Amino acid sequence: MTARIILLVTSPRLPAGLLTAAAWDVVRQFPVFTAAESEQADALRHAGVEVVVMDPDPERLLSEMSGKGAVVWLSGPAGDQDFARQLGLRLTREPDLAELELMYGSWDPPGARLLDAVAVMDRLASPGGDPWKRAQTHRTLAQYLLEEAYEAFDAIEADDPDALREELGDVLLQVVLHARLAQELPDGAAWGIDDVAGGLVEKMVRRNPHVFAGEDITDLDEITANWERIKKAEKSRDSALDGIALGQPALSLAAKILQRAERPGLDVPLPAGDDLGPALLRVVAEARAAGVDAEAELRRVTLIYADAVRSAEQKDVGPAE
């Protein structure tokens, strides 16, 4: 029978010792070697498996195989890629020495890189990290959260998936940084990224009973109405206007307030007068009545005007003499 070298790769983002049944079978059956101490090595030892630390040298490992039939190389958190490549090249020259087998003892779960993002931000915002990030507050970061959200919006408008992926990463950076700074709040007021994620999960489950509680809902209008009903019960708001983001652009703010004002069936006249403010609000109301998004329409026309300005600039430059 051909000897085997089993490269056992595990996810550093899962608790040590959380392995597949096949992985546990091989580590209990064959000698286990690794390049350095790790949480995974400690977990195996606690389970009664002997783990030997040795230099990542293909010749040394091959010598340890004598008469054993198979050995396991427990890859470290970085994956030991250089060692695996050297070992593969060595066995390519003399394939009769052993077969090289890759075994995954555990895999990264979906969203695993979010754990990396949290760990990196913790390093940056901790003593010895990035002085700029450590000096920030929720208030000083507020403008960046808006800027990054607008850049993500621009990527959507441009129908650019690659740009959107990058810009959403920048939005996520803001979320992770705000959560890390909140850990430094005084006792009783502190919270962190798990509180943010936990609140989000609870809200998604609570507001989607047609998915998580078997509630019978047949169409999108009913889903929307149910969402609003649940949201209203959660917030215990005194006014239909409570919860509107007042920091949003004025046109979209006007449209949102006009939309909310329709819900209780109130008949509140628009401000009178020929001044610019009342006139703009009436334009937004007319746009809503016509089913037009005033913010989007002004943006569209403004960008057309911007293109015209650039064209005029090019014509004004003229040919070089």
pLDDT, tens only, 274-294: 899 999 999 999 999 999 999
Domain residue extents for the chain: 4-104, 112-235, 250-313
Q: How far is residue 21's CA from residue 182's CA, in Å, rounded to a whole number? A: 40
So what's the pLDDT on residue 2?
78
Judge contact between 164 and 172, C-beta under 8 A. no
CATH of domain 112-235: 1.10.287.1080
For residue 23, the one-letter residue type is A
So what's the pLDDT on residue 319?
59
Q: How far is residue 68's CA from residue 61's CA, in Å, rounded to a whole number? A: 12
Strand partners, 102: 7
Candidate CATH numbers 3.30.160.20, 3.30.450.20, 3.40.1010.10, 3.30.365.10; the one for domain 4-104: 3.40.1010.10
Whether the predicted pLDDT of 263 surpasses 90? no
Q: Tell me which H or E stretch contains 89.
A: helix 81-93
So what's the pLDDT on residue 130?
97
Residue pLDDT, tens place only, 18-54: 999 999 999 999 999 999 999 999 999 999 999 999 9
Percent of the chain exceeding pLDDT 70 equals 98
Q: How far is residue 130's CA from residue 64's CA, in Å, rounded to a whole number? A: 45
So what's the pLDDT on residue 66?
78
Tell me the average pLDDT across 3-19. Answer: 92
Q: How far is residue 150's CA from residue 159's CA, in Å, rounded to a whole number? A: 14
Among 76-80, 85-89, 277-281, the range scoring the smallest mean pLDDT is 76-80
Residues, the chain, total?
321
**What pTM did the predictor assign?**
0.72
